[in-house]
A and B are shown apart, each in its own frame.
Chain A
Amino acid sequence: MKKYVIMILAVLGVAFSSQAQEKKNKNAKADVEVKGNCDMCKKRIEKAAFRVKGVKSANWHAEDQTLHLILDENKTDVLKVQKAVAEAGHDTKEVKASQDDYEGLHFCCKYNRE
């Protein structure tokens, strides 16, 4: 029984997401967890996000460790932004930074890695 419920939910989920894909939002809001410490991190994270085409607004706050995004879903998605931010050295919810990129950070930006 449980299996079926999960399957139904999964199918529904796919259905919903595919429906969402059909109606792509040009000004989609998204929040994603990004690790960092200070103002220097803020500049780096936001700059990295802006390098992704389709990101309209990017604001990172240290307190909630969240990057607040407004992006055009026709051009990009949150995963692409996470990749760009991780390349800059900051771990995100789904994409982690490489050890090299992390080591390259300014000492004040060396956040605690889990």
Chain B
Amino acid sequence: MKYILLTLCTLSMQVVFAQDTYRGKVLNTFNSPVESAQITVNDSIVATTDAHGVFELTLDEPSTAYIYAEGYQVYETEFNDPLHYYFITIQPEDDLNELVITTNKKNTQRGRGATNMQVMNSGELLKAACCNLAESFETNPSIDVNFSDAISGSKQIRMLGLTSPYILIAEENIPSVRGASQAYGLSFTPGTWVESIQVTKGAGSVVNGFESISGQINTELIKPSDDLPFFLNLYGSTDSRFEVNAHFSEKISDKWSSSLFVHGNTRVKKNDMNHDGFLDNPLGSQINVMNRWQYMNLEKGWIAFLTARYMKDEKQTGAIDFDKDIHKLGTDKWGAELNTDKFDVSAKIGYVFPNQPYKSFGWQNAFSYHAQNSYFGLNQFDITQRSIYSNFLYSSIINNTMHKFSTGASFMYDDYSEFVANYGANHYDRTDTSYGAFMEYTYDNMDNLSMVLGLRADNSNRLGAFVTPRMHLRYNPWEKTTLRMSAGRGKRLANIFAENQYLFASSRRFNIQEDGGKAYGMNPEIAWNYGVSVSQDFRFLNKSANITLDFYRTDFQNQIVVDLDQSARTVDFYNLDGKSYANSFQAELNYNIIKHLNLRTAYKYYDIQSTYGDKTLERPLQAKHRLFANMEYSTHENNGRYWKFDATWNWLGKQRLPYTGDNSSENKLADYTNPFSTINAQITKVFSDTFEIYVGGENIANYRQNRVILGADDPFGNEFDSTIVYGPIFGQMYYAGLRFKIK
């Protein structure tokens, strides 16, 4: 009788509180269950996982929960569907073990550490047409994606208003987009290979080198041990670009696994939407193959990766009726070709001491070969780079895990051979060698304060001996408010031709004002970057929201000024004589309007000025004001089936145009462009966890830059310039694709 009463009581209580039970499993990135992970709602623990990672909990109402587990990053999830079985994959804290986050719950997460870091996972990448890494930032307000130039068809990115040479872009913590690949390297990594991207604003860590100035972007590729046996992605668009991505993976033993990634893309049809007689986007093709092997012995603490990769990329652009076999390097028709071969191998090994999980070391080695042969009308540019990179990292604690440190040494070797023909031919060959040691100390009071202090000392044959200090601080003055500060120094050699090679697609003469420096007669670029960021979480109308304000300043002590303002006939390169700085401010608001509907908006202000000759001017082709809004919505999942909708709106204020005053009147441009906006949207239909199709559009409002090429009627005359691109060249573009997996 007593029991019946008790049961009745329990039942009635359930009715009164309308409690729902949620079940699921917490896994680590190796797909092993995580025991003792705590699931908290409103700061109290509602469940803890058992030895199989399984949990079960009851809630009065759908709630946001945080999952905490020792050695893992905090994971946020929403419990709203009692019928759903929640598989939650949590990511390790330790970089060495940083392997995956695969979830469609939250696609971009802000890190909890001292650095201003966001993690974008593959879900974020699926929101755009996103054929390669360059395009994957379209939905991230911290990174501006520029419009592709007519020559390469590649998109360039900017962070804090500075172009990609000032960003350290690494692949699995090995610097990858640098030197010869600086301009187009982001288009050499297909989007489907990417598992997650960490975007760090400001100076960043010293572990990956001294070159970063405005930020660091690290891409983690899909690990063989987590990969599906087979994945296929097909894509086609109305600008006649076709892509195929195929992944094959196999677990060879309990310790070894291997993946083969194959990517191909091509554009075969000539597009000239603006009828200027020139292609809007290049013809081309790319073959990209990667094979990697992973060894993992969790009991002993060893993990290793071996990766080999080959890429061949070919592009042709210029006049519609340009035939490369007939017109190459002649003056009948203007045309350009850009052919790249790239080969990379890398080996990484990491060890975590089994009885001291806070102690580990990692050693990574990479070799890369990059050869580009290209011509642009009568200009020629060939570059070959051979690089060796080696980095050893040891991490441990001082007294206890509140005080951590990482230390190590790195070595970098770059052998460049360049041939430049532009009003005269020149060879530029050089070898850069640098070695250095670094130390990074991390303090975490386990509550409201953490701090990273980094210092590295390097010696380079071209940069000399120098130190690179970096500092990051996080402080939570009260709950839900995060304050971050950072400061740091960066130093790099500018590869002036590789970084600015799009300028060869004009009749400009390259004037290099040598000043006795060690690369092209010029000095290294040196800059300090400082930043503050305030982030506030709050609830509005009972839905979670976040507002973040970032202010960063970059001060150049020296910069290689790329000056398009002396004359429309020249581009001048010289050491900065005066001041150069970049101020950037960003206000970002994220709001979960209703269930499954998220809004992300941002306002960005850029004040970027340099001394050009005797004048201080805004950097050309840079909007001072930008607005961004992204809306994502997904329908409720039903038997694995649902719809996803995503739309992004970008508004760009007026941009200063380079000087064209010495052109004839029909080739003179105004001082500023007009403001304009673009809209991209995508719809995905998920049929099951193995099959989905998507359709989307870019630049749906069909905004087009009204004049792309100056002097198009006389491409070998001295007013020809196809490099002044500030907006979309091609009008609206639609695409469709599918993704198929075998699990």
Q: State the A residues within 8 Å of B (CB).
A: 27, 29, 37-40, 43, 46-47, 50, 53, 55-59, 61-64, 68, 70, 108
Give A49's nearest chain B residue, CB to CB.
B400
Minimum CB–CB distance from B67 to chain A (whole Å) comes to 12
B48, CB-defined interface residue at 8 Å = yes
Seed contacts A29-B355, A38-B44; 15 additional CB < 8 Å A-B pairs: A37-B45, A38-B45, A39-B45, A43-B446, A43-B447, A46-B446, A50-B402, A56-B356, A57-B397, A58-B401, A59-B70, A61-B70, A63-B38, A64-B36, A108-B43
Interface pair A62/B38, CB less than 8 Å apart: yes
Interface pair A55/B355, CB less than 8 Å apart: no
- Complex contacts, B400 vs chain A, CB 8 Å: 50, 55-58
Interface pair A61/B38, CB less than 8 Å apart: yes
Interface pair A63/B358, CB less than 8 Å apart: no
Q: Assuming the A-B contacts A39-B68, A43-B446, A47-B447, are A63 and B48 also in contact, with contact meaning beta carbons closer than 8 angstroms in the complex?
A: yes
Distance A27 CA – B399 CA, assembled complex (angstroms)? 11
A-B contacts, 12 of them at CB < 8 A, read A38-B44, A39-B38, A39-B44, A47-B446, A50-B401, A50-B402, A57-B356, A57-B357, A57-B397, A58-B400, A58-B401, A64-B48
Minimum CB–CB distance from A82 to chain B (whole Å) comes to 17
Question: What 7 pairs across the A-B complex have the smallest Cβ distances?
Answer: A63-B48, A59-B70, A61-B36, A62-B45, A57-B401, A50-B400, A56-B400
Chain B interface residue count, Cβ-Cβ cutoff 8 angstroms: 20
B19, CB-defined interface residue at 8 Å = no
B40, CB-defined interface residue at 8 Å = yes
Interface string of B379-404 (1 = CB under 8 A from A): 00000000000000000010111100
Distance A47 CA – B45 CA, assembled complex (angstroms)? 19
Interface pair A40/B48, CB less than 8 Å apart: no
- Complex contacts, B358 vs chain A, CB 8 Å: 56-57
Distance A38 CA – B43 CA, assembled complex (angstroms)? 7
Minimum CB–CB distance from B449 to chain A (whole Å) comes to 12
Interface pair A37/B36, CB less than 8 Å apart: no
Interface pair A39/B36, CB less than 8 Å apart: no
Distance A102 CA – B357 CA, assembled complex (angstroms)? 33
Distance A61 CA – B71 CA, assembled complex (angstroms)? 13
B40-60 contacts to A, CB under 8 A, are 40, 43-45, 48
Give B68's nearest chain A residue, CB to CB.
A39
Interface pair B43/A56, CB less than 8 Å apart: no
Distance A62 CA – B48 CA, assembled complex (angstroms)? 8
- Complex contacts, B36 vs chain A, CB 8 Å: 61, 63-64
Minimum CB–CB distance from A62 to chain B (whole Å) comes to 5
Interface pair B68/A53, CB less than 8 Å apart: no
- Complex contacts, A37 vs chain B, CB 8 Å: 44-45
Distance A50 CA – B356 CA, assembled complex (angstroms)? 16
- Complex contacts, B38 vs chain A, CB 8 Å: 39, 61-63
Interface pair A27/B355, CB less than 8 Å apart: yes
Give B448's nearest chain A residue, CB to CB.
A43
Give A53's nearest chain B residue, CB to CB.
B399
Residue among B68, B70, B401, B446 making CB contact with A56, cutoff 8 Å: B401
Give B403's nearest chain A residue, CB to CB.
A50
